Amino acid sequence: MSRLPLIVALAGLLAACDQNMDVQPRYSEYSRAPLFRGSVLRRPPANTVARDDLEREKAASTKPALSAELLARGRARFGIFCSPCHGAGGDGNGVIVQRGMPRPTSYHDDRLLAADDQHFFDVITNGYGAMYSYAARVPPRDRWAITAYIRALQLSRHASLDDVPPDERARLESSP
Ligand code: HEC
Protein backbone atom coordinates (compact mmCIF):
# COMPACT_ATOMS: atom_id res chain seq x y z
CA MET A 1 0.00 0.00 0.00
CA SER A 2 1.40 3.38 -0.91
CA ARG A 3 2.11 5.90 1.84
CA LEU A 4 2.34 8.67 -0.69
CA PRO A 5 -1.05 10.32 0.02
CA LEU A 6 -0.22 10.45 3.74
CA ILE A 7 3.19 12.03 3.08
CA VAL A 8 1.63 14.59 0.74
CA ALA A 9 -0.99 15.46 3.40
CA LEU A 10 1.69 15.88 6.10
CA ALA A 11 3.80 18.05 3.83
CA GLY A 12 0.73 20.20 3.27
CA LEU A 13 0.30 20.62 7.05
CA LEU A 14 3.95 21.59 7.46
CA ALA A 15 3.62 24.18 4.73
CA ALA A 16 0.75 25.73 6.69
CA CYS A 17 3.17 26.32 9.61
CA ASP A 18 5.13 28.65 7.41
CA GLN A 19 2.48 31.35 7.62
CA ASN A 20 4.28 34.00 9.54
CA MET A 21 1.93 35.37 12.19
CA ASP A 22 4.20 38.37 12.72
CA VAL A 23 3.14 39.89 9.45
CA GLN A 24 -0.59 39.90 10.04
CA PRO A 25 -2.19 43.35 10.22
CA ARG A 26 -2.10 44.56 13.84
CA TYR A 27 -1.31 47.62 15.94
CA SER A 28 1.71 48.06 18.23
CA GLU A 29 0.91 49.34 21.72
CA TYR A 30 2.35 52.81 21.24
CA SER A 31 1.48 53.42 17.60
CA ARG A 32 -1.10 56.09 16.84
CA ALA A 33 -4.76 55.11 16.84
CA PRO A 34 -6.61 57.65 14.69
CA LEU A 35 -9.94 56.54 16.14
CA PHE A 36 -8.91 57.51 19.69
CA ARG A 37 -6.72 60.49 18.79
CA GLY A 38 -3.92 59.02 20.85
CA SER A 39 -1.89 55.84 21.14
CA VAL A 40 -3.36 52.36 20.76
CA LEU A 41 -2.65 51.63 24.43
CA ARG A 42 -5.55 53.34 26.19
CA ARG A 43 -5.40 54.78 29.69
CA PRO A 44 -7.81 52.73 31.87
CA PRO A 45 -10.87 54.67 33.13
CA ALA A 46 -10.51 56.20 36.60
CA ASN A 47 -10.92 53.76 39.53
CA THR A 48 -10.29 50.69 37.38
CA VAL A 49 -9.16 47.72 39.48
CA ALA A 50 -6.97 45.19 37.70
CA ARG A 51 -7.97 41.52 37.91
CA ASP A 52 -6.57 39.79 41.05
CA ASP A 53 -5.48 43.14 42.55
CA LEU A 54 -7.94 42.84 45.44
CA GLU A 55 -6.89 39.26 46.27
CA ARG A 56 -3.22 40.26 46.13
CA GLU A 57 -3.86 43.24 48.37
CA LYS A 58 -5.70 41.06 50.88
CA ALA A 59 -2.90 38.47 50.94
CA ALA A 60 -0.37 41.28 51.45
CA SER A 61 -2.17 42.71 54.47
CA THR A 62 -2.97 39.36 56.14
CA LYS A 63 0.00 37.66 57.69
CA PRO A 64 -0.71 33.92 57.61
CA ALA A 65 -0.57 31.95 60.87
CA LEU A 66 2.76 30.29 61.54
CA SER A 67 2.74 26.58 60.69
CA ALA A 68 5.18 23.86 59.67
CA GLU A 69 3.70 24.04 56.17
CA LEU A 70 4.34 27.81 55.95
CA LEU A 71 7.94 27.39 57.11
CA ALA A 72 8.57 24.60 54.61
CA ARG A 73 7.18 26.79 51.83
CA GLY A 74 9.32 29.71 53.01
CA ARG A 75 12.42 27.57 53.14
CA ALA A 76 11.87 26.33 49.56
CA ARG A 77 11.17 29.84 48.20
CA PHE A 78 14.12 31.29 50.12
CA GLY A 79 16.38 28.64 48.57
CA ILE A 80 15.19 29.62 45.09
CA PHE A 81 14.98 33.41 45.29
CA CYS A 82 17.15 34.67 48.15
CA SER A 83 19.96 32.23 48.96
CA PRO A 84 21.89 32.94 45.72
CA CYS A 85 22.87 36.30 47.30
CA HIS A 86 22.03 36.00 50.98
CA GLY A 87 23.50 32.50 51.38
CA ALA A 88 21.69 29.44 52.79
CA GLY A 89 22.24 30.67 56.36
CA GLY A 90 21.43 34.34 55.66
CA ASP A 91 24.98 35.62 56.27
CA GLY A 92 25.05 37.50 52.96
CA ASN A 93 27.73 35.39 51.31
CA GLY A 94 25.77 33.67 48.52
CA VAL A 95 27.39 32.59 45.27
CA ILE A 96 26.40 35.79 43.45
CA VAL A 97 28.07 37.88 46.17
CA GLN A 98 31.17 35.74 45.83
CA ARG A 99 31.17 36.80 42.17
CA GLY A 100 30.92 40.54 42.75
CA MET A 101 27.38 41.54 43.91
CA PRO A 102 27.56 43.98 46.86
CA ARG A 103 27.38 42.05 50.11
CA PRO A 104 24.01 42.46 51.87
CA THR A 105 23.79 42.95 55.62
CA SER A 106 23.67 39.61 57.41
CA TYR A 107 20.22 38.64 58.73
CA HIS A 108 22.02 38.02 62.04
CA ASP A 109 23.02 41.68 62.30
CA ASP A 110 21.49 43.42 65.36
CA ARG A 111 19.51 45.89 63.24
CA LEU A 112 17.84 43.11 61.23
CA LEU A 113 17.29 40.98 64.33
CA ALA A 114 15.34 43.93 65.75
CA ALA A 115 13.47 44.76 62.50
CA ASP A 116 9.83 43.73 62.37
CA ASP A 117 8.32 41.20 59.94
CA GLN A 118 6.85 44.01 57.84
CA HIS A 119 10.36 45.25 57.01
CA PHE A 120 11.28 41.90 55.42
CA PHE A 121 7.97 41.75 53.55
CA ASP A 122 8.52 45.32 52.27
CA VAL A 123 12.11 44.66 51.17
CA ILE A 124 10.89 41.69 49.08
CA THR A 125 8.06 43.82 47.65
CA ASN A 126 9.95 47.03 46.89
CA GLY A 127 13.61 46.02 46.80
CA TYR A 128 16.23 47.79 48.93
CA GLY A 129 19.25 49.74 47.69
CA ALA A 130 21.14 47.46 45.31
CA MET A 131 18.54 44.69 45.69
CA TYR A 132 15.72 44.79 43.18
CA SER A 133 12.04 44.08 43.83
CA TYR A 134 10.80 40.50 43.90
CA ALA A 135 7.13 41.51 43.76
CA ALA A 136 6.69 40.10 40.26
CA ARG A 137 8.18 36.72 41.17
CA VAL A 138 7.18 36.16 44.78
CA PRO A 139 3.43 36.46 45.50
CA PRO A 140 2.37 38.02 48.86
CA ARG A 141 1.73 34.78 50.77
CA ASP A 142 5.16 33.49 49.77
CA ARG A 143 6.69 36.77 50.98
CA TRP A 144 5.20 36.08 54.41
CA ALA A 145 6.41 32.46 54.21
CA ILE A 146 9.97 33.62 53.40
CA THR A 147 9.80 36.16 56.22
CA ALA A 148 8.78 33.38 58.65
CA TYR A 149 11.69 31.27 57.46
CA ILE A 150 14.16 34.16 57.89
CA ARG A 151 12.85 34.51 61.46
CA ALA A 152 13.58 30.81 61.99
CA LEU A 153 17.10 31.29 60.58
CA GLN A 154 17.66 34.17 63.01
CA LEU A 155 16.29 32.17 65.94
CA SER A 156 18.53 29.23 65.04
CA ARG A 157 21.57 31.28 66.09
CA HIS A 158 20.10 33.33 68.87
CA ALA A 159 17.95 30.85 70.79
CA SER A 160 18.58 30.08 74.45
CA LEU A 161 17.89 26.85 76.31
CA ASP A 162 14.74 28.48 77.71
CA ASP A 163 13.26 28.59 74.19
CA VAL A 164 13.29 24.77 74.03
CA PRO A 165 9.95 23.14 75.03
CA PRO A 166 10.26 21.25 78.41
CA ASP A 167 9.99 17.70 77.01
CA GLU A 168 12.53 18.41 74.27
CA ARG A 169 14.75 20.08 76.84
CA ALA A 170 14.76 16.99 79.04
CA ARG A 171 15.76 14.94 75.98
CA LEU A 172 18.54 17.43 75.15
CA GLU A 173 19.89 17.46 78.66
CA SER A 174 19.89 13.67 78.96
CA SER A 175 21.82 13.24 75.70
CA PRO A 176 25.57 12.85 76.15
C1 HEC B 1 20.78 39.35 43.40
C2 HEC B 1 21.11 39.35 44.82
C3 HEC B 1 20.00 39.36 45.83
C4 HEC B 1 18.92 38.51 45.91
C5 HEC B 1 18.60 37.35 44.99
C6 HEC B 1 18.17 38.91 47.08
N7 HEC B 1 18.78 39.98 47.69
FE8 HEC B 1 18.22 40.85 49.42
N9 HEC B 1 19.77 42.14 49.29
C10 HEC B 1 20.73 42.13 48.29
C11 HEC B 1 21.65 43.21 48.51
C12 HEC B 1 22.87 43.55 47.63
C13 HEC B 1 21.22 43.89 49.67
C14 HEC B 1 21.84 45.14 50.29
C15 HEC B 1 21.27 46.32 49.57
C16 HEC B 1 21.86 47.63 50.01
O17 HEC B 1 22.08 47.80 51.24
O18 HEC B 1 22.05 48.49 49.13
C19 HEC B 1 20.04 43.17 50.14
C20 HEC B 1 19.36 43.48 51.29
C21 HEC B 1 18.34 42.72 51.83
C22 HEC B 1 17.77 42.91 53.16
C23 HEC B 1 18.27 43.90 54.19
C24 HEC B 1 17.58 45.20 54.15
C25 HEC B 1 18.15 46.09 55.26
O26 HEC B 1 17.33 46.65 56.02
O27 HEC B 1 19.39 46.23 55.33
C28 HEC B 1 16.79 41.98 53.30
C29 HEC B 1 15.89 41.79 54.52
C30 HEC B 1 16.74 41.21 52.08
N31 HEC B 1 17.71 41.68 51.21
C32 HEC B 1 15.88 40.17 51.86
C33 HEC B 1 15.87 39.41 50.69
C34 HEC B 1 14.94 38.34 50.45
C35 HEC B 1 13.87 37.89 51.41
C36 HEC B 1 15.24 37.83 49.22
C37 HEC B 1 14.52 36.73 48.47
C38 HEC B 1 13.13 36.97 48.16
C39 HEC B 1 16.38 38.57 48.70
N40 HEC B 1 16.72 39.52 49.62
C41 HEC B 1 16.99 38.31 47.48
C42 HEC B 1 20.83 41.26 47.25
C43 HEC B 1 19.90 40.27 46.96
Rounded CA separation 133/170 (Å): 45
Ramachandran sector of residue 166 (left: φ over 0; alpha: ψ -120 to 50; beta: rest): alpha
What's residue 150's pLDDT? 98
User: Candidates 128, 138, 154: which one to mutate for ligand 1, based on the most atoms within 8 Å of Cβ?
Assistant: 128
Nearest ligand 1 atom to the CA of 109 is 27
Per-residue CA distances from 23 to 18, 66, 69, 99 (Å): 12, 53, 49, 43
Is the pLDDT score of 4 beyond 90?
no
What's residue 141's pLDDT? 97
Is the pLDDT score of 39 beyond 90?
no
Among 73-77, 125-129, 170-174, the range scoring the smallest mean pLDDT is: 170-174
User: Candidates 83, 85, 101, 119: which one to mutate for ligand 1, based on the most atoms within 8 Å of Cβ?
Assistant: 85
Q: In order of start, what are the domains of the chain with their CATH numbers?
A: 53-157 (1.10.760.10)
| Residue type at 158 in one-letter notation | H
What's residue 75's pLDDT? 98
Nearest ligand 1 atom to the CA of 146 is 35
What's residue 109's pLDDT? 97
